[in-house]
Chains A and B, each alone.
Chain A
Amino acid sequence: MASQLVSTTVNGDPVQFACPTDESLLNVLRDQLGLTGAKEGCGTGDCGACSVTLDGRLVCSCLVLGVEAEGREISTIEGMADGDKLHPLQQQFIDNAALQCGVCTPGFLVAAKALLDKNPSPTEEEIRYALAGNLCRCTGYDKIVRAVQAAAKDMRKLSKKR
């Protein structure tokens, strides 16, 4: 299998890796870069557990080739907290018990952040639509939606302070 050398940026850091041309970005992140936050649920772009952002846009990393990352900027769940300080979304997921098994959680957090970056005050309906590409088989979604609403509120307060 042909391998290709790829230079990219992951969570702000320059990264180089060599990967088979048909390897998914998800597998590269997990197996080569040790970033195991993104998960493979379905491998077909339906469950969103592998969500990352690519040049600022939310994508399923299982449907992106590793070689496509050349020169792009990738953000994963590992880049979400500021050192030891959790992102408001992460904190609210804990406070609202918006997770059980946790497999879908990194994807939900990345997708919710992508939403709040674009729309700081989403309605409940907008939140549910924005997270429709993320499946959770434990929580029934209500706690997740409430956590996103609470985090949005926290983030609006923080941006006012600045």
Chain B
Amino acid sequence: MRYESPTTTKEAVALLAGEKGSAYVLAGGTDLMVRLRMDLIEPDLMVDIKRIPVMNEVKKTATGFKIGAAVSSAELGENKALGKAWPGVVEAARLIGSDQVQSRCTIAGNLCNASPAADSVPALVAAGAKAVVVGKSKRRTVAVDKIVTGPGETSLAKDELVEAITLPKRAARSGDAYLRFIPRTEMDIAVVGCAVSLTLARGVVKTARVALGAVAPTVVLVPEAARALIGTKLDDNALEKMAAACSAACDPIDDKRGTIEYRTRVAGVLAKRAAKIAFERAGGK
């Protein structure tokens, strides 16, 4: 295995493009290293992006936030401005793994690892986050929900990598939240995850996005669930309608961590709880 640690995105992309065999991008390594250790992958090339300065920055921009692909969840948790604007995104990123894992894991890596149960992805999808994708000949910005195409599968070309994740500028009276269900209190894989992001106007929900994790091959955005909230103050009727829309959007697997019936039901329950937290964070009463 050839190991390279370039200092520019351009160099990193050229390395990926030039490799004839299998090439992998190494960010925090908390998933990739496990696969390497278990001999699930045999990379010919590993490109470590942690020496690329732009990938280690969290920038507040005119259009929101730009989070470099190598920024760890621990660093996200230490960024007060980000936590104030997008508490749901930060709490989702902070739920991944132990403190040891937090020091290394990244949201870009969480996205590109393409697990249906990735914790930060529903929060990013609900937030309307975008991925800055850089390839050898072009650079494109795409919605994060267009990156993952199936379990372990992404729409990235061989010479492409995610340089950063962007979050939009937060409107006043907005809030987001992420909740996951796991059978224990810490260090587990989501049985169901749910993120809600919303903005209020005159006390009622003006815009909303609801996303579910671990209930389908990819994270799903549920527009019907969001519609159920719009124009309401989250009365019981609106919450029930949203929960039903969430359950209807589920297409989960049956496994030791949760049955199809269980995941489908819990998706609605978590959505209600997450929506209430997001509403409260937006200043709703």
Q: Using a CB–CB distance below 8 Å, which chain A residues touch chain B?
A: 1-2, 4, 21-22, 24, 43-46, 48, 51, 54, 57-60, 62-65, 67-68, 70, 111, 114-115, 129-130, 132-134
Q: Using a CB–CB distance below 8 Å, which chain B residues touch chain A?
A: 1-3, 5, 26, 29-30, 33-34, 36-38, 43, 46, 48, 50, 72, 74, 97-101, 103-104, 186-187
Task: Given A59-B103, A68-B48, A132-B187, verify A48-B98 contact (CB < 8 Å).
Answer: yes
Task: Given A2-B1, A70-B5, A133-B97, verify A63-B103 contact (CB < 8 Å).
Answer: no
- Return the chain B residue nearest A48 by Cβ: B100
Complex contact B100–A65 (CB within 8 A): no
Complex contact A45–B186 (CB within 8 A): no
- B139–chain A nearest beta-carbon distance, Å: 27
Q: How far is the CA of A134 from the CA of B2 in the complex (A)?
A: 32
Task: Given A67-B3, A132-B98, A132-B187, verify A21-B33 contact (CB < 8 Å).
Answer: no
Chain A residues within an 8 Å CB radius of B29? 63-65, 68
- B104–chain A nearest beta-carbon distance, Å: 6
Contact of A63 among B33, B46, B74 (CB under 8 A): B33
Contact of B100 among A4, A22, A24, A45 (CB under 8 A): A45
- Return the chain B residue nearest A134 by Cβ: B98
Contact of B99 among A1, A21, A114 (CB under 8 A): A114
Task: Given A48-B100, A133-B187, verify A64-B33 contact (CB < 8 Å).
Answer: yes
Q: How far is the CA of A132 from the CA of B1 in the complex (A)?
A: 33
Q: How far is the CA of A2 from the CA of B34 in the complex (A)?
A: 20
- A113–chain B nearest beta-carbon distance, Å: 12
Complex contact A21–B2 (CB within 8 A): yes
Contact of B37 among A44, A57, A67, A68 (CB under 8 A): A44
- A48–chain B nearest beta-carbon distance, Å: 6
Task: Given A65-B29, A133-B187, verify A21-B46 contact (CB < 8 Å).
Answer: yes
The 3 closest A-B pairs by CB, nearest first: A133-B98, A57-B103, A21-B3
Chain B residues within an 8 Å CB radius of A129? 186
Complex contact B38–A1 (CB within 8 A): no
- Return the chain A residue nearest B34 by Cβ: A44
- B41–chain A nearest beta-carbon distance, Å: 10
Chain A residues within an 8 Å CB radius of B48? 65, 68
Complex contact A130–B99 (CB within 8 A): yes
Extra inter-chain contacts (14) besides given A65-B33, A111-B99, CB under 8 Å: A22-B36, A24-B37, A43-B37, A57-B72, A57-B103, A57-B104, A59-B100, A63-B33, A65-B29, A65-B48, A114-B99, A130-B99, A132-B187, A133-B100
Chain A residues within an 8 Å CB radius of B3? 2, 4, 21-22, 65, 67
Chain B residues within an 8 Å CB radius of A54? 103
Chain B residues within an 8 Å CB radius of A114? 99
- B110–chain A nearest beta-carbon distance, Å: 14
Q: How far is the CA of A160 from the CA of B72 in the complex (A)?
A: 33
Q: How far is the CA of A114 from the CA of B99 in the complex (A)?
A: 10
Complex contact A1–B1 (CB within 8 A): yes
Chain B residues within an 8 Å CB radius of A46? 187
Complex contact B103–A58 (CB within 8 A): yes
Complex contact B104–A59 (CB within 8 A): yes
- Return the chain B residue nearest A54 by Cβ: B103
- B108–chain A nearest beta-carbon distance, Å: 17
Q: List 13 A-B contacts (CB under 8 A).
A: A22-B43, A44-B38, A45-B97, A59-B103, A59-B104, A63-B104, A64-B104, A70-B5, A132-B98, A132-B186, A132-B187, A133-B97, A134-B98
- Return the chain A residue nearest B104 by Cβ: A59
Chain A residues within an 8 Å CB radius of B99? 58, 111, 114-115, 130, 132-133
Chain B residues within an 8 Å CB radius of A63? 29-30, 33-34, 37, 101, 104
- Return the chain B residue nearest A53 by Cβ: B103
